[in-house]
Amino acid sequence: MSANVNEFDAIVLGAGAMGSAAAYYLTQAKQRVLLLEQFELDHQKGSSHGLSRVIRYSYDHPIYRSPEC
C-alpha cells in the first residue's frame, strides 16, 4: 500500500533554525514531513536575524549581559 503524497505524519510551520531542525530529526525518524515557510530564503523577519538573535540584548536582566554591555 503506497501513501498518498498529501499525507504527512507532521507539518512544521517555520523553516528557521528550530523548524528546520525539527523537520530534519522527524525525517531521520522516518516520518513524512511537510516544512512550510511564509517568507523567502534569507529573509530578515525571523528570530535569528538582527539584534534579536543576541539574547543579551533581548532580555533586560544582569545574568544575560556581558561585561562590555
Coil, strand or helix: which one is 67?
coil
User: Span 10-24, mean pLDDT?
Assistant: 93
pLDDT digits (tens, 9 = 90+) for 24-57: 999 999 999 999 999 887 777 766 666 556 665 6
Q: Model confidence at 16, in pLDDT bands (50, 70, 90)?
A: confident
C-alpha cell at 29: 525518524
Question: What is the spatial distance between Cα 5 and Cα 47, in angstroms, rounded to a whole number?
Answer: 31
C-alpha cell at 27: 525525517
Q: Where are the domains of the chain?
A: 10-39+46-64
CB-CB contact of 37 with 20 (8 Å): no
pLDDT at 58: 63
Question: What is the spatial distance between Cα 69 and Cα 65, in angstroms, rounded to a whole number?
Answer: 6
CB-CB contact of 41 with 56 (8 Å): no
